[in-house]
Chain A
């Protein structure tokens, strides 16, 4: 009989190596100490990023996953270490981000006894994980880790939580790793129904006013080229969800803008005028549909989505197609006719003119003294040659930045979409930069959101992560203030916020920083920030009571989109 040659904690590291993990985000603690002792010996193979809070590490792993397409790996300890991860796990679940979280747990004899730093993390994370599992025996480690990576990355990606009891980390096993490619109770691939594909193609070919909406599914399945080819052949106008942005270059002739509550005017308005609506890799979130009972009622809907449980959840498609965006678009391609919808496209373009006159023109009014958020964001995008990875927090600046940035490459937008997690941007940006060092990563946050996770400046400084941080400071929790102004009679209940001197804060971490409030300084400082080696921070004091428009008010239909209050 062979002797048991490897400890559970080392086996965990070996599993990570087998899965080609090069970076992990972690924070040590009692119940995960054996793993930390093992990782100490593998520092040349695995880069460990120590954050300043577990929420920081999970958002960093999300940023890493979103930019690379590979599962982000988190390591944390039991109890509070794990509960601090939950916001990010729920965020990853909503935004289909692959994560594998390896979390320590008290020794198995102590489970359920209210032991020190024990919490029922399996119970707490069941509703917000794609899969979770508690490893109590060392022999389970290779198989369960292999499954975890398979589940997180395949199908519609999502977060996986593994709790590993301390005894399982200490005990020994004979290590053997088999990559999971199949599971009995999990079938990530869809069986393509060619009848449905044919029906969809017929609908598309007979449409007078077809309109395509795409979401992050296009990015996740790597269907960017297929989407572009499909649009070019069919001549169909296409709009993006927030998370789908950058899947199609902003200057593509078929691209008409962003959907949603603060999306562009035409894409919202004309949803209720098209005759065939094609949704590709999106879930018809309520921020996209507005009042769902008044959403695209005149249109025949084709919904292409790999997660079957999304089909028919919010809208009722005439042709539901369960399938991966890339596969379905490729199958549709030979069946759809070459066509021209330029008259219909003109309707979008005339909406753009309206939006420009009512909204955009004012934002870029050079004679206006105060800086608008839109002005800053457009200048940032230009300075980075529309090539940066834009990481945003949540709120007014998020909507504005994503409206006014332009994108050339896919995977250029990282934001907290479904969960709307303030504090997301800074840690996610450092994860994104670590995931792809070749790209310029710009994080934009408000003064509120930045302060939620600004402790991660410590991580950025320690690892010299070259993120360019922009704070749009309006001295308000802006989006809530906007709603208070519009819907709560301007009663600004607890939305005014005082901030520290962000420049001094950054300087305390030896991070170069500037603060500006005048238009004349903007371009210079942006360029200085972007050309600084290593991390840099720019605070821009912007107009205090700037509002985001267009807006589909809560409960209104998409064609009731407003250009002004």
Chain B
């Protein structure tokens, strides 16, 4: 029996109405909760990149990926388990430029620590 662990599924799909539902249905039908999901435009125009995190088992995930790949509108799907990739947390903050202007002594600190 495989233990449950986190998996990251990356999928490239056509940027069209309804495809997200088709992909997510692969999980909900099997009562698998999606822990996190992001959709962004990929390097290729008209193709979106889905990044989905789920908790599951090795053999189940292998099957899920095949079911995602089978959906029409999906270009490809790949899976990594949590320990196969290095992750780091990045935070983004939105700040009013006005507040920076009022405290211009903070600007160098921000630039040095957070802005690449």
Contacts and interface: CB of A to CB of B under 8 A. Distances in A.
B66 A185 contact: no
B67 to A, nearest CB: 5
B66 A126 contact: no
A253 interface: no
Interface stretch (B70-78, B85-93, B105-113): B70-78
A185 B18 contact: no
B21 A309 contact: no
A126 B25 contact: yes
A531 interface: no
A123 interface: yes
A307 B14 contact: no
A312 interface: yes
B72 A131 contact: yes
A313 B73 contact: no
Contacts of A126: 18, 21-22, 25
A312 B13 contact: no
Nearest to B29: A127
Contacts of A131: 72
Contacts of B17: 134
A6 interface: no
Contacts of A309: 63, 66-67, 69-70
Interface string A101-130: 000000000000000000000110011001
A151 B71 CA distance: 11
A293 to B, nearest CB: 12
B62 interface: yes
A5 interface: no
Interface in B33-71: 59, 62-63, 66-67, 69-70
Nearest to A155: B70
Interface in A263-312: 307-309, 311-312
A217 to B, nearest CB: 16
B72 A185 contact: yes
Contact of B74 (A133, A134, A185): A185
A122 B20 CA distance: 13
A184 B73 CA distance: 8
B75 A185 contact: yes
B63 A122 contact: no
A565 B67 CA distance: 40
A126 B19 CA distance: 9
A307 B69 CA distance: 11
Nearest to B16: A133
Interface-centre pick from B29, B73, B74 (highest chain A CB count, 10 A): B73
A151 B70 contact: no
Contacts of B14: 184-185
Contacts of A308: 66, 69-70
Interface in A300-337: 307-309, 311-313
B13 A185 contact: yes
A315 B25 CA distance: 23
A132 interface: yes
Nearest to A160: B72
A494 interface: no
A185 B70 CA distance: 9
A130 B22 CA distance: 10
Contacts of B62: 312
A185 B22 contact: no
Contacts of A132: 18
Nearest to A316: B59
Contacts of A184: 14, 75
A90 B101 CA distance: 62
A133 B73 CA distance: 11
B18 A307 contact: no
Interface-centre pick from A130, A184, A185 (highest chain B CB count, 10 A): A185
Nearest to A131: B72
Contacts of A123: 21
Interface in A172-194: 183-186
Contacts of B63: 309, 312-313
Contact of B72 (A151, A307, A313): A151
Interface-centre pick from B13, B72, B74 (highest chain A CB count, 10 A): B72
A185 B44 CA distance: 14
22 contacts: A126-B21, A126-B22, A127-B25, A127-B29, A130-B72, A131-B72, A132-B18, A134-B17, A151-B72, A183-B72, A184-B14, A185-B72, A185-B74, A185-B75, A186-B73, A308-B66, A308-B69, A309-B66, A309-B67, A311-B66, A312-B63, A313-B63
Interface of A: 122-123, 126-127, 130-134, 151, 183-186, 307-309, 311-313
Given A126-B25, A186-B72, A309-B66, 4 more contacts: A123-B21, A126-B18, A151-B72, A185-B72
Top 4 nearest A-B pairs by Cβ distance?
A309-B66, A131-B72, A186-B72, A309-B67
